[in-house]
Structure 1
């Protein structure tokens, strides 16, 4: 990690000298193109006289393995820009023990991090709202804070303004999401064949099965596909490389547990699960936003026999030491 940080510092130093990039193409007084060594003022050693010389030189070359890809991926440095990179690298090495230069380079690093990471995140959060972010003023505020310039605001006051707006925006987005998902449920329940249960769960029978109905303590074999109301598929049995998935009925989100205890084996249903029976205000990962209504095509293929379940438990016990489960631990959920 220290190596990467130091490397980044040296690389960033090069950006301070981009104004001189045009000079890399200039010719010397004799009209000859300058070499890279001449441009960065590196005087090549004519020979490696001792084992220590060879080892030191080899070490320097060896630690550059993968550096070209790193420069391209992390900094966007192209092959044609290598003279500029080498000039900056040379400057960084020459001044590596200069604390003032190190502070200067730290400023370059931070400005790059703000531009590539922090700025897009902040701009994205407020994009399309009544208060979009003005990039130039954001940078002005950033610089003034670091310079302890309180002409407009103090840092504590600025933080309160920013945090308050974030809370307001979060509440606004959540309200809009809830309204959008509730509107979908209202429209869906009007469709032919849709059954609406008292707790809000909706289902439509695609194929009517005639097998046994699982209990909460059973383990079932299912084929499913899950998507959000915008039609985006977030999970499916077809992605798992298996014929069917197996789950404990009582260990799933509430909407699944409820639906499975009404489905005879051989059934195929479309179930629409309101957020209060799914992942509620927390959502699940990047694919399932807070307050999401979930739509599943769910096919119940079978219920595992008690002997089969017991055998699987015994096999698992041989491989994995038993763990004591805390008394207050809630249901284990399987992401859908």
Structure 2
């Protein structure tokens, strides 16, 4: 399993490949001498894998702050540094990494960084990347492996063992997530079908042959777009529970796109609207994102979508 880091850590870790360095040990929980459980083995293997990605920043890393940021990120809490602090620490840290790799700053000035801020930033990034696995990770064991990996010690797992543990764990996690996704999809399918059956009888709701449902909130008097046209719209998209997953209103500007490049429910629905209209659409999952949902998880599998759409112009 490859640990993927986000935000500033991506910039830092891709800045330069650097040889391992020895980092002075800071206070930690009593070290394990054996890995008695599968959870210990997984936690240790993930810690070693992460340490391989962090060697370049080891001289600038405070372990205690890293652990604090890690725990915070695992819980999905807000970052412990402000956005401006993250940007500044990230820039300075990249400069220091490059200097250690033989690329000194052009102005000859080596920026200083606060090791605790580096720890909070990177630990938080790692924690957020592992948040879905938080119940699988024993933090003290993870931290022991991280210290060993960054400090040049002898790990409790050899490289081949570490890879074997990670591959087996990744396979189990994929199976678990797939089962959860399938169960979620079945729940949303049943809820969506029941909702659409009820909504079909609501006064003012029109159901098309495809199953798309819509209501006219304001009827315009302009031309209707063809499915090959490009349009400008304002819209808000929600799930059946009212959760907003996309909104041009929230972004503060209308959206523009060709009608044949969006979900089928949009292509069909907006083509029904005269310019100047505002419609509400209830889009069955098969005309939206189907069994897969969206990659970022904002739309779950088999979700019925609700859109309020204003057609402003045909471009």
Distance 1:71 1:285, change over 3 A: same
Among 273, 281, 305, the residue aligned to 1:294: 305
Contact in 1 for aligned 2:200/2:213 (Cα 8 Å): yes
Distance 1:205 1:2, change over 3 A: same
**Runs of 5+ unmatched residues, structure 1:** 16-60, 77-112, 124-132, 149-153, 305-336
Distance 1:146 1:298, change over 3 A: same
Shift of 1:226: 1.5
Distance 1:219 1:168, change over 3 A: closer
**What are the superposed Cα offsets for residues 264-300 of structure 1, whole Å, 9 maximum, x if unpaired?**
2222110111111112223234322232221111122
Distance 1:73 1:160, change over 3 A: closer
Higher relative contact order (CA 8 A, sep 6+): 2
TM-score scaled by length of structure 1: 0.50
Is 2:247 aligned against 1:199? Answer: no
Task: Report which stretch shifted further, 209-218 or 61-70.
Answer: 61-70
Distance 1:281 1:9, change over 3 A: farther
**Runs of 5+ unmatched residues, structure 2:** 1-15, 19-53, 66-108, 146-155, 160-164
RMSD between aligned residues: 4.3
**What are the superposed Cα offsets for residues 231-255 of structure 1, whole Å, 9 maximum, x if unpaired?**
122222323443x433322222111
Q: Which of these two proteins has the greater Rg computed from alpha carbons?
A: 1
Among 225, 234, 246, the residue aligned to 1:235: 246
The 5 Å alignment of 1:1-336 reads 1-2=16-17, 5-8=55-58, 11=61, 62=110, 64-65=112-113, 67-75=115-123, 116=127, 120-123=131-134, 146=157, 164-242=175-253, 244-286=254-296, 287-304=298-315
The SS at the match of 1:193 is coil
TM-score scaled by length of structure 2: 0.52
Contact in 1 for aligned 2:289/2:301 (Cα 8 Å): yes
